[in-house]
């Protein structure tokens, strides 16, 4: 049975995802309503296909951006529209079928129980996961936990999450970054700095091979340079926030 909410929606940023996007959106709709898709300047014809789906489904909304601005930019566009419509939380998931739609209800339920928290997916990898990606994310996770004084971020890169809209909008409006591949890790670090507590839940992840319709926009050198620059500026921000973070930790322990 599809759950219907007036406070929580599923938000799917999408850029040239290939045919798996239709299965992804259809699966998300089986478990939740509403589902919104932000097409981030795609050139693969998926915008037209998704609009056709939305024309037959009142629980699905499709927004099409004229130019590709990056995942974070697409999420921010969705956040602004969701806030204007009166929603308080969004669950973000990728459009390429990697994230588990069957976990949507559990994540939304936990968010309703703890509305001030962000509910973070911790990936359970299967044999389809590239070992380079699995090992490499440990570096980003290590930096994210250092930059938040081990506030409890289970995984900094996994994009299957529920965010409270208001603090995430404030964080994104306050600085120019978080618009591309750097969105997911920078969002959790900055939200921790602003006192939003992470709650971790396990979620399976599947990597599709190209012959299965899988599409990856990850570029090892480009995106790792982007992450390196991101953690450099986050570490600088961490250093001058350190007294505040230490005081917050002392208060929580007392």
Express each pLDDT in 149-195 by its tens digit: 999 999 999 999 999 999 999 999 988 888 887 899 999 999 999 99
User: Domain span at residue 38?
Assistant: 3-253
Task: Give residue 175's pLDDT.
Answer: 85
State both tokens at 91.
């669950």
Q: What does the mean pLDDT of the chain come to?
A: 90
Average pLDDT, integer, range 4-20: 95
Task: Give residue 225's pLDDT.
Answer: 79
Task: Give residue 177's pLDDT.
Answer: 85
pLDDT in tens, 105-137: 999 999 999 999 999 999 998 766 666 667 767
Task: Give residue 216's pLDDT.
Answer: 58
- The count of domains in the chain is 1
Check residues 7 and 128 and name the one with the higher pLDDT.
7
Check residues 246 and 214 and name the one with the higher pLDDT.
246
Average pLDDT, integer, range 76-99: 96
DSSP annotation string for 58-97: TTEEEEEESS---HHHHHHHHHHHHHHTT--EEEE--SSS
DSSP annotation string for 30-53: HHEE-EEEEEES--SSHHHHHHHH
Task: Give residue 171's pLDDT.
Answer: 95
pLDDT in tens, 221-249: 666 677 788 899 999 999 989 998 898 88
Task: Give residue 253's pLDDT.
Answer: 77
Q: Look at residue 137 and give its three-state secondary structure.
A: helix
Residue 50 sits in a domain whose CATH number is 3.90.550.10
pTM of the model: 0.91
**What's the rounded Cα separation, in Å, for the pair 103 and 78?**
21
Task: Give residue 51's pLDDT.
Answer: 97
C-beta atoms surrounding 245 within 10 Å:
16
């Amino acid at each position: 049975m599809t759950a219907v909410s007036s406070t929580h929606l599923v938000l799917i940023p999408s850029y040239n995802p290939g045919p798996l996007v239709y299965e992804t959106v259809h699966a998300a709709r089986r478990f939740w309503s509403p589902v919104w898709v932000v097409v981030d300047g795609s050139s693969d014809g998926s915008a037209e296909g998704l609009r056709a789906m939305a024309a037959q489904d009142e629980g699905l909304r499709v927004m099409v951006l004229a130019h590709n601005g990056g995942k974070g930019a697409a999420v921010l566009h969705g956040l602004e529209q969701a806030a204007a419509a009166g929603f308080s939380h969004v669950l973000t998931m990728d459009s390429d079928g990697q994230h588990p739609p069957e976990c949507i209800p559990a994540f939304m339920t936990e968010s309703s129980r703890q509305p001030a928290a962000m509910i973070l997916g911790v990936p359970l990898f299967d044999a389809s996961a590239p070992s380079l990606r699995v090992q490499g994310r440990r570096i980003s996770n290590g930096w994210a936990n250092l930059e938040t004084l081990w506030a409890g971020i289970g995984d900094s890169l996994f994009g299957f999450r529920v965010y409270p809209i208001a603090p995430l909008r404030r964080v994104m409006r306050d600085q120019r970054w978080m618009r591309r591949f750097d969105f997911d890790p920078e969002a959790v670090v900055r939200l921790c700095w602003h006192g939003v507590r992470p709650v971790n839940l396990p979620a399976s992840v599947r990597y599709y091979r190209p012959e299965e319709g899988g599409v990856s926009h990850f570029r090892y050198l480009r995106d790792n340079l982007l992450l390196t620059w991101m953690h450099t500026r986050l570490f600088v921000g961490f250093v001058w926030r350190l007294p505040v973070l230490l005081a917050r930790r002392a208060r929580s322990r007392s």
